[in-house]
Each structure stands twice: as structure tokens, then as C-alpha cells.
Structure 1
Amino acid sequence: MATSEELHKRRVEAVARGVGSTIPAYVDRAGGGTITDVDGREWIDFAAGIAVTNVGNSAPRVVEAVRAQVERFTHTCFMVAPYESYVAVCEQLNALTPGGFEKRSALFNSGAEAVENAVKIARHATGRPAVVVFDHAYHGRTNLTMALTAKNMPYKHRFGPFAGEVYRVPMSYPLRDGGLDGATAAARSIEMIEKQVGAENVAALLIEPIQGEGGFVVPAEGFLPALREWATAAGVVFVADEIQTGFCRTGDWFACEHEGVEPDLITLAKGIAGGLPLAAVTGRADLMDAVHVGGLGGTYGGNPIACAAALASMETMRELDLAAAARRIGAVMGERLRAIAAGDPRVVEVRGRGAMLAMEIVVPGTLTPDPAATAAISAACHAAGLLTLTCGTYGNVLRFLPPLAISDDELGRGLDILAAAFG
């Protein structure tokens, strides 16, 4: 087997330079809360493939389901010759997602595809053009989703021009907006929408209940319900982007459940299928069914192998009660992170929910972001065998997304490495 050094030499000659990687190691196998590279080095996994392997890598039910499906057939295209597993995934999503109303689902390949299709559905159903998004938002890397995403580098830089009729308003970011309460922060955003866009022109209001790439920003209590209430009154489709927060990650099946918010449409991906590519839009039947036959779909959307994995993943989440596991991980990790913060003035805030936690790093005594210190701490973790990620508009947030199947021992060892990295 080639070494990581040998593989990297091959990569330089074969892979486009624009595709980055967090660690300079090449994976051989992974399971539970660890990753092992081709040189035999083990890494505690606090990334989960960016909130994808919630059930752990190579989860037994997923492996079994995928193997069985591959033996039967790998692809027919649901739009050509349909199959039961696509229907079963949609049934599960309709039942699991918030909202007591009648729902429909459609399956796609990636989070960006799900977001684009949610916008298509909202525009088609309302006959309106405008889409409202928020500061610090991340929604994908396609042309439309780059327009929806806030951060320029590395996501948008020199890739324009972007899709039009996208409008950005302030997010509730308690650390950086003076601690505005949720209702006041929402009123600020709504006033901007009404004055600068006009509610009658807005097809969709799109928001991450907890922002992901933007820095794990948790809005103040009341922010999401106030926006939901306004959207309903204004005839605007409220779209919850739960691509990173979904499938038990925050301690509920979906993050918007925390405040009882029922979105008109919800976009899903990442944790849905145990590592196989699958995404979905689920929502109100009247909106989803407004689109003409043939208006939604894609060659690989709802691939039978990915659907089998999704059904097995959701069963694993129920069987192991991974929502409760996320809450337990959050309690253990939160206590350790707050202890680190108490002894290090660079940590201005520990935030998040469940097993989606973050530390914002600043120049001590200020709110000035310190991306260099953030990168150095993360690099020290990597060198010691802990896989961590950074994020945030300012590049100064350490984010933690361990698999929900991580063992107590693995979690503890990872937190010990993190504490040592802070010195």
C-alpha cells in the first residue's frame, strides 16, 4: 500500500489544486470515532466528514444495506424506472421533519442541489422572484448557492457573476450584534426586507437554524419564531437549511425543533445516508406539488444505493437514540470547552447545541478575530492525532462535529488533545 507521502505526490500531479484537504494524510479505514491513515496513524475524528457520518463510519446497518442493494441493482434512474427505496425515504422524511401538515419530498445528490431546488419550488409556487438570506450564511458552491452564501474567500472569489434577486439581511449573532434579543434582531431584519425588497416580491426566506460555515452562530431565542411568523403573514416560503444541523446533530432530529419552528420547506443532506451522497427537499404538499411534472429531478437523485443507506442510517439513529447521544456529547464536550475557555483569554465564546459546538478565538480583551491563532491551535490538534475543523466569516472559529457514535473513551482522548493544543 502506498504511503501518505507517495499518495500526495500522485495527488499533486492528478488532482486540481483548487481542491483542498485539512490533513496531509490519506485514509485507509474509519469507524466509530476514529480514522486510520495508510501509514497506520490513528486520528480521533471531531469532523465526521463535516457532519456526514453521524452514525459513524461503516455503520453495520449501512454496510449491510448497501451490500444487499448493490447485489440487486445499482441504478435505473427514478425518473425512468422507479423503485421502492426512493418512496420509502420520502415517507420517512415526511414523517420525521417538523410540521403536522401534509408533506411531499424530492431527492437529490448534494446540499447545494437541495437548496437550489427549494428556491425553484418557492419561486414557482409563489410567482415571486426574490430570495432573502442572512449575513454569515453558507448554502453551497453552485452558481445560485454561491450568491446565497455570504463569504467571499474561498467560496465566491472570482467565480461571478452570480444569480440575481438575492438579498442579504443581518443575522442574529449575539456576540457581535451587541446581544440583541431575538425579537429585536428579527425586527431589524424584517424592516430591511420590507424597505429594500418588499415583502410582496419575496419568494423565500432561507436560513440555517444554526449557521455552519459562518461560524456555528446560534441566533438568540425568539429570532427564528419571529421570522417564521412574519413569513407566514407575508406569504413568504420559510426554508430551513438543515443540511449541517439535521439528523440528530443538535440533540433533536432537526435544529428548528428546539423552538418549535415548522418550516414550509426543509433542505437536507450530509447526515442523511451514513456517508453516501443523498439530499432532499421536504415540505408542504401544496408547495412541493405546485411544480409541473418533470420540473424536479436529476439522473442520480435518490440513487438506490444511497436510499438504502439512508433508510439504514435513520433506523440506526432511532435504535441508538442518537439525538440523546448528541445531547450527552454536548454536555461532556461543553463542560471541557468552557474549562479551556476559562483559562485562555483568546476564547471569547463557547457556543452551539448538542454535538455541534464551537469556540470563537480573538485577540485577548477584544472582539478582533484571530484566524492565525485559530489555525495554529487546529494544526497542533492535527499533529497530535485529533481531526478538527475551522470555520467562520473571519476564519477564527474552531468547530467540533464528532460522530454521534463516538465512544466515551474516544471523546475523552480527543478533548485531552484539544486541551493540550491550547497550551
Structure 2
Amino acid sequence: MNSQHNQQINQHVEEQNQNNTTQDSQEEDDEEAANKVINNCQNCSKSVKEFKYKIVDMQNELRLKEQQIKQIQRDNLIMEKIKIENEGILAEKEGDLEIQKLQQEIYALKEKQRQIKKEERQLEKDMTKQCDYLVRIEQKHKEVCDKVGVSFSLNQTRADDLQDIIRMNHKQKAYKNEQIEKSKIEKNGKIEVNESTFKQLQEIIIKKREQKFELEKQAKKEIEDLQKQQKQIYETNQKLQKDIKEKEKVLNMYVIEINKVKRHTKHNALQPIGNEYEYCKRAIASNKEIRREQKGLHIGTETARSWDNSIELRNDYQIYKISFWWSDFLIVGMNVQYKLKNGEKQIVDCFMPSSLENLQTADLKLKGNEYIASISGHCNLVSIEYLRIVSSRGNYIMVG
């Protein structure tokens, strides 16, 4: 019994051991399967992450492509605008080119028209010449017909009649020549020509020819001498003109330098010098309304404040405008315009040149109560060279 029981126990233990071994093997298999599943999950998560990254990259690429597409669309719009503008410019240029072509065609047509007009004029001239020639021929025909005694119309003339008329004409001419010779013989008498008279006449003719030849030689020599004299006179005249021009240039340079020195004197107010000052005094001595001082001449209007620097003009005249014309530092014209109280303007004092071409001009207008404060300048024995006129408000002009 015990042995059986032990055998049963051993069997039972063996069965348990077998069961334990099977369980261990199953657990190992389960662990391996779980590890595989875990590894598969990890691999799947990695692939999912990679796929997500790829999706993000694709989205970024799509965004960039969309931006590029939008930029391309904008560029296309700009290019379309530029294309439209260029098409407009090309159309304008084509229009301008067409206009130019039309203008050229118009110019060519005008030139053709001018040529046609010229040809027409030439044809008219030729026609007039031909008409004149025909008129002359008709006149000659009339004269010939009148001399011969034939009617003017060509239909009435015939060859036989013309021959008879020509014979009669020759006879008439011979008769006329005979009558002329007879009249000469009656006037001068008969001239008998002998050898001696013929030789004498030949000698006289030869002498006359020699005299004529000598006279022609003398005339040629005289003409050549006169031509030589004329050339010499022309050359001397040119030399004199060159010398005169050079001297005039030198004189002008001296005059310019002198005037520069004059203008750069104190206060730019020049005083008459020596005899010129005496001439200036004599020139204005007759006018009592002009004050003479060391600095120059002083003239005022009726609105002047005192007699120290001005005087009253006659009646109700007031200076309104002074104009001057000069050339090469020489004053050649002056015009003084006065204004009356009623507003009228009159020119009282003036002297003008024959022409105003190539002349410099300047004028000074006085407004309101403005008057001439001072006049200074320089003159020679013939004319005034320089003037400086200053108004009460400081306005001034320099002339000359």
C-alpha cells in the first residue's frame, strides 16, 4: 500500500514538474511574444513619427509652393501691365512712325508739286518764246509779202506767181542800184582808178593800219599802268585800313582803361577835370534853374524839400522818367518825360540819334514824391561821356 501510495505521489510530483515545465515554457513564449509586440509598437511609433515629420515637411513645401505661385501670379500681373504699357508705347511709336511716313510722303508730294509747277512755268516760258517766234515769223512773212506784193494768206499764192514776182523784184533791185550809182557819179564825179592811184591808196591804208596798231599798243600800256597803279593804291589802302584798325583798337583800350580809372574814383562820383569843368560851367551857365556845386549838378522837382539840394521846376511840371542811349562810352541820346498834376505826360527835353540800333539804354522812373538828388559825370569839349543820376530814394543809373 505504501509503495503504491509512493508511486502515486511520485507520479503526481512528476506530473506537477511536467506541468511546471510547460508553464515556464509558455511564460517564456508569452514574454517573447510580448517583447515582439512591444518592439513592433516601438517600430510603429517611430514610423508614425517619421511619417508625421514627412507630413510636416510636405506641408511646408506646399506652403512654399503656394507662396511661389502667388509671387508668380503677382509677377504675371506686373508683366501684363508692362506688356500693356509696352503695347501702348509701341502703338504710339507706330502711330508716330506712320505720321512721319505720311509727313515724308506729304513732303515728297510737295516737292513733286513744286517740280511740276517749275516744269509748268518752264513750259509757259517755252510757249511764250514759241509764240513770240511765230509772231516774228508772221511779221517777217507780212513784210516779205508787202515787199513782193503778194497777199498775206498762203492759199492765194502760187508757184508761178511767186517766180514772176521774184523776177520783177530782181529787175527792180537792178534798176535801183543803177539809179544809186548814177546819183553818186553826179555828186562825186567819175573816179578813174589807175595803178598809181591804187598804190597811193594802198600806202595810205598801210600807214593808217600802222597808226592804229601803235595807238592800240599805247592804249594797252596805259591801261596796264593804270591797273598797276590801282593795285598799288588798293594795297596801300588796305595797309592804311589795317593800321587804322590797330590804332583804333589801341585807342579803345586806352579809353576803356581811362573810363575804368574814372569809375573807380571816390564814391563813384566823377568831377569834371580842367577845361572840361570850364566847358561844363559855360554850358549850364545860361540855365538859372540848375545849381552848380563842387560835387556836380543838382536838379530837383517842385516837391523838393529845400533849396540846398534842389530847385522848383517851372509851372507844374514834375520829372517822371529819364532815358539815355549810349555807345562806346559816348552818350548819344536823352529823353526826359515830365508829368503834370492832371496826370498828363509830356516830353519836353530830348535829343535822339538817327537810329537806335546797337545802342545800350537805361532809364530811371521817379514815383510819388521821389526827386533827383544828384547828377554827376564827366564830359569833354564835344559830348558827355559818363553820368550818374541818384534819386532821393537811393535809386540810381550809370550811363556811358
Q: Establish whether TM, by shorter chain, passes 0.5.
A: no
Larger Rg: 2
Higher relative contact order (CA 8 A, sep 6+): 1
TM-score by length of 1: 0.16
Structure in which a larger fraction of residues adopt helix: 2
TM-score by length of 2: 0.17
